[in-house]
């Protein structure tokens, strides 16, 4: 997995954590790695539900970490996801928001905030910090999660990662674009999506003939 190296108040870069092996040190990239096991309680549609890593398999999923309930940038991001939830559903994508708050805090926030009240997707509580640690987005000294977005394929592999500094909110429409690209590539082996690719646009088929011609 990856660890966060910070400079000042911002997240500077993502570093691979090194694992010791019999041959010395090696690294495990987060892209294409399997989601680690977890169990948690979540709030969804007025009820508390149990969620585990098994729920992330068999379909495309987004695990969307944010620092805390009852804050400022967080509700704008979660409302943006809620406003676009139907579009994610059309793609067969389920959304799981995660913070280190409890599921009780999620329920209270959902019942009091007009923005959060729009949410129909699953809001996972991570008070044990297990899930945040699993995805390497935990700010240990604060007990809070970074703004981390993870797109997971039906096989439980992480295909897209985005981690922002606390003051930088994310965009659901850009996340939708990336998911469409990931799904296209998964369904069309041998093709790749260039920069700013949108559904219906031309893709690339990497080959010797293309070298130096783009």
Q: Which residues are catalytic?
A: 74
Q: What order do you get walking across the sheet with 39-44 strand by strand?
A: 47-52, 39-44, 122-125, 93-99, 60-65, 147-152, 158-164
Distance between CA atoms of 86 and 194, rounded to whole angstroms? 26
CB hemisphere CA count around 83 (13 angstroms): 11
Pairing of strands 122-125, 39-44: antiparallel
How far are the Cα atoms of 7, 99, 109 from residue 130, in angstroms, in the given order? 25, 11, 22
Distance between CA atoms of 204 and 192, rounded to whole angstroms? 5
- Contact in structure between 164 and 73 (CB atoms under 8 Å): no
């Amino acid at each position: 997995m990856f660890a966060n190296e910070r400079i000042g108040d911002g997240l500077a870069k993502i570093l691979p954590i090194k694992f010791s092996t019999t041959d010395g040190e090696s690294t495990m990239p987060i892209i294409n790695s399997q989601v680690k096991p977890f169990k948690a309680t979540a709030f969804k549609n007025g009820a508390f539900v149990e969620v585990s890593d098994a729920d992330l398999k068999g379909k495309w999923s987004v695990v969307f970490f944010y620092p805390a309930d009852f804050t400022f940038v967080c509700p704008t991001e979660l409302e943006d996801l809620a406003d676009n939830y139907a579009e994610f559903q059309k793609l067969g994508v389920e959304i799981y928001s995660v913070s280190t708050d409890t599921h009780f805090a999620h329920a209270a926030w959902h019942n009091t905030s007009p923005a959060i009240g729009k949410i129909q997707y699953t809001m996972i509580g991570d008070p044990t910090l297990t899930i945040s640690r699993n995805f390497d987005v935990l700010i240990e000294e604060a007990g809070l999660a970074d703004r981390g977005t993870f797109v997971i394929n039906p096989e439980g592999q992480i295909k897209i990662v985005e981690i922002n500094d606390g003051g930088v909110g994310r965009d659901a429409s850009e996340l939708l674009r990336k998911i469409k690209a990931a799904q296209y590539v998964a369904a069309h082996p041998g093709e790749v999506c260039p920069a700013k690719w949108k559904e219906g646009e031309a893709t690339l088929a990497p080959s010797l003939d293309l070298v130096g011609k783009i």
